């Protein structure tokens, strides 16, 4: 058979695969890589990961694991010392009483969320999501054949409120996913409001996933708020999906956890054991060192993100047509660019993001990918130098577009 014949065979993708899309944040990473390979000086504010290296004591624990040949399968739920450390960390910080059988170490936070949704959702079950939200939630819900019910938060400046949640609940509602601090908006749910939201959900028989991926990155006066702080009667229907990826600059290590009601965790474990098996043994040892070692690097990263945000957001707001609120947590600016789009003649935020990438070498993720047309997500987990240069380039794009639109004399 000739190679042409081989390439014409259409792959019979399953309906499930056809309905799944490549993560738009992953697509942006690939587009940036392609430009870099062509020699373009790319400023990457698209990728949502710390620009800091993994702290040395964590890397040392991994080196030691290798030297000790800790390179084989572990229990699918993760090694016991790590499960204990996750419980201890959570209980001592937030006054809860989780036990290791309520904890499954997962392959990053994403795998935990995926398995927790798969373990609960049947076809047609409604899942409440704030809109905008992280790109993977609706895709994961689709995968489980659930129905996404989007709660629009633009009118409340992207704050999720108990009233909004209450209005979205129907007899088919089964789950809500709450993400505070939020990717992409940087909003933090106030602890009292958080309790009210979960209270309403529990009263109406819903289950809750609390995605705490950015837990420690909160800028005072806003407060770190974990579902672990809730009273036991509310916590009994909440799965905390945690991650070491952002907190310890460990995105490539792929360690997260699901911490919650024992029966739900047991189902998560079954799903993980038949798919990823477990988080990598070496990464688990590194995660143990991260949770039990010095937390100083986390505070240093937080202080640095704060310093950057304090420069970056006002600088963005200086650009005509840009309105950007100050982030309360995480490390994303989420500017409203509707004015700029009008001024510069962009019909969609995707069009704007493409122009910014291909002509000016600045990578951002268009808001529509998160459900918010007219916005752009810019990660400031990048050097001040890169942030300064990005503002210059965005300003240049605006100036060029205005010049194009000025009638010739």
Ligand X SMILES: Cc1ncc(COP(=O)(O)O)c(C=O)c1O
Residues engaged in binding ligand X (CB under 6 A): 48, 108-110, 134, 179, 183, 211, 213, 243, 245, 251, 256
* Residue among 134 and 346 whose Cβ is closer to ligand X: 134
Q: Which is nearer to ligand X, 48 or 100 (CB)?
A: 48
Asked if omega into 132 is within 30° of 0 (cis), the reply is: yes
User: What is the rounded CA–CA span in Å between residue 185 and residue 157?
Assistant: 9
Q: CB of residue 256 vs ligand X: minimum separation in angstroms?
A: 4
Q: CB 147 → ligand X: shortest distance, Å?
A: 21
The alpha carbon dihedral of 403, 404, 407, 408 has a sign of positive
Minimum CB separation of residue 253 from ligand X in Å reads 9
What would the DSSP string read from start to end of 203-263? HTT-EEEEE-TTTT-B-TTS----GGGS-HHHHTTEEEEEESTTTTT-TTT--EEEES-HH
Residues found in the chain? 409
Residue identified by tokens 């944040």 is: 25
Q: Give 319 or 330: the residue with its C-beta nearer to ligand X.
A: 330
Residue 107 and residue 81 in contact, taking contact as beta carbons nearer than 8 Å: no
Closest CB to ligand X among residues 48, 186: 48
Minimum separation from the CB atom of position 233 to ligand X (A): 26
Contact 396, 350 (CB under 8 A): no
Strand order in the sheet with 332-333: 332-333, 376-379, 365-366
Q: Which is nearer to ligand X, 242 or 319 (CB)?
A: 242
Least separation in angstroms between residue 408's CB and ligand X is 46
Continuous H helices in 99-190? 108-120, 136-143, 162-168
Nearer to ligand X (CB atom), residue 105 or residue 341? 105
Closest CA relative to residue 306, chosen from 288, 282, 333, 278: 333
- Tell me the residue number closest to ligand X, measured at CB: 108
CB of 214 to ligand X, least distance (A): 7
- Whichever of 213 and 316 has its CB closer to ligand X, that residue is 213
Structure tokens that stand for 141 in this block:
């819900």
Q: How far is the CB of 332 from ligand X (least distance, A)?
A: 9
């Amino acid at each position: 058979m000739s190679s042409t014949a081989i390439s014409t065979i259409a792959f019979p993708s399953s309906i499930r695969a056809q309905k799944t899309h490549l993560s738009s944040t992953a697509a942006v990473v690939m587009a940036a890589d392609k430009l870099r390979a062509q020699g373009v000086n790319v400023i990457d504010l698209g990728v949502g990961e710390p620009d800091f290296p993994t702290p040395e004591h964590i890397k040392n624990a991994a080196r030691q694991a290798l030297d000790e040949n800790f390179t084989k399968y572990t229990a699918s739920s993760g090694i016991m010392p790590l499960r204990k450390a996750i419980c201890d960390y959570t209980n001592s910080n937030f006054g809860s009483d989780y036990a290791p059988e309520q904890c499954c170490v997962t392959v990053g936070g994403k795998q935990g969320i995926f398995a927790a949704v798969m373990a609960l959702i049947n076809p047609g079950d409604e899942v409440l999501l704030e809109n905008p939200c992280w790109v993977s939630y609706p895709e994961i819900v689709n995968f489980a054949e659930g129905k996404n019910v989007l709660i629009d938060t633009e009118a409340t400046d992207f704050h999720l409120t108990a009233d909004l949640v209450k209005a979205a609940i129907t007899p088919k509602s089964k789950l809500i996913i709450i993400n505070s601090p939020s990717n992409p908006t940087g909003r933090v749910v106030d602890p009292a409001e958080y309790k009210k939201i979960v209270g309403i959900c529990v009263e109406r028989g819903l289950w809750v996933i609390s995605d705490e991926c950015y837990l420690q990155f909160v800028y005072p006066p806003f407060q770190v708020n974990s579902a672990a702080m809730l009273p036991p009667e509310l916590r009994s229907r909440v799965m905390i999906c945690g991650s070491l990826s952002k907190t310890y600059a460990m995105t490539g290590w792929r360690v997260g956890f699901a911490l919650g009601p024992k029966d739900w965790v047991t189902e998560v474990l079954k799903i993980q054991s038949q798919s990823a098996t477990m988080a990598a043994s070496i990464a688990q040892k590194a995660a143990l060192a991260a949770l039990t070692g010095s937390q100083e690097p986390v505070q240093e990263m937080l202080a640095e993100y704060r310093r950057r945000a304090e420069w970056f957001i006002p600088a963005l707001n200086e650009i005509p047509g840009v309105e950007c609120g100050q982030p309360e947590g995480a490390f994303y600016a989420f500017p409203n660019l509707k004015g700029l789009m009008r001024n510069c003649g962009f019909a969609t935020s995707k069009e704007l993001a493409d122009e910014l990438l291909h002509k000016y070498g600045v990578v951002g993720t268009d808001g529509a990918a998160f459900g918010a047309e007219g916005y752009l997500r810019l990660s400031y987990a990048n050097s001040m130098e890169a942030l300064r240069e990005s503002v210059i380039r965005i300003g240049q794009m605006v100036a060029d577009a205005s010049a194009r639109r000025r009638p010739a004399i």
